[in-house]
Amino acid sequence: MAETMMAFPDLRHPFEASPIHSAGSATVLYQGNTTTLEVTGSGEGLLISAEDLTRINGFVLKPEGACFGDLCIPLNDNLLVEQDNQSWFDLTAFADLLEQPYVVDTEARVWSFAEMPAKRDSMMVNAKAPNFEVVDRQGKVIRMADFKGKKALIVTWSSW
């Protein structure tokens, strides 16, 4: 019988914790996207640059506030933080302001943010379903975009 070997056994230890990225950096999970931030501010919240805000969730800092399309959230003193002559945006304070759920692994410096209620509410006001596609029982691909301008009733069911 052949001997089983693990590739690079000297580099692996199942009970030894190893960092997932360099010190001072962080990982953000949002709507299926993973964003690695090389530099963040120090503190309990997640302090990021204005450019990283846009990379993470599409919001842009403008004079009127943090804006995503027509939706603008006025900035308050809790959102903009000065540290070591650098301006940071407190993403966790922003999530708290918008009542956006999130979880964090502080040791690994990984944040996972749920969908923003403010974005979801605007979709409900417009009464437009997001674009998606499914395969019917005959194998035909049905796209929501195919029903643009038409009314559609969407019924879902799950056995779990």
Q: Is residue 144 part of a domain?
A: no
Structural domains counted in the chain = 1
Q: Tens of pLDDT along 47-97? A: 999 999 999 999 999 999 999 988 889 998 889 999 888 999 999 999 999
Structural domain for 54, as ranges: 21-116
pLDDT for res 56:
94
Q: Which amino acid is at 127?
A: A
pTM of this prediction? 0.64
Mean pLDDT across the chain, nearest whole number?
82
Q: Is the pLDDT of residue 108 over 90?
A: no
Q: Is residue 88 part of a domain?
A: yes
Q: Is the pLDDT of residue 149 over 90?
A: no
Q: Tens of pLDDT along 11-46? A: 555 666 666 767 778 999 998 889 999 989 888 889
Q: Is residue 143 part of a domain?
A: no
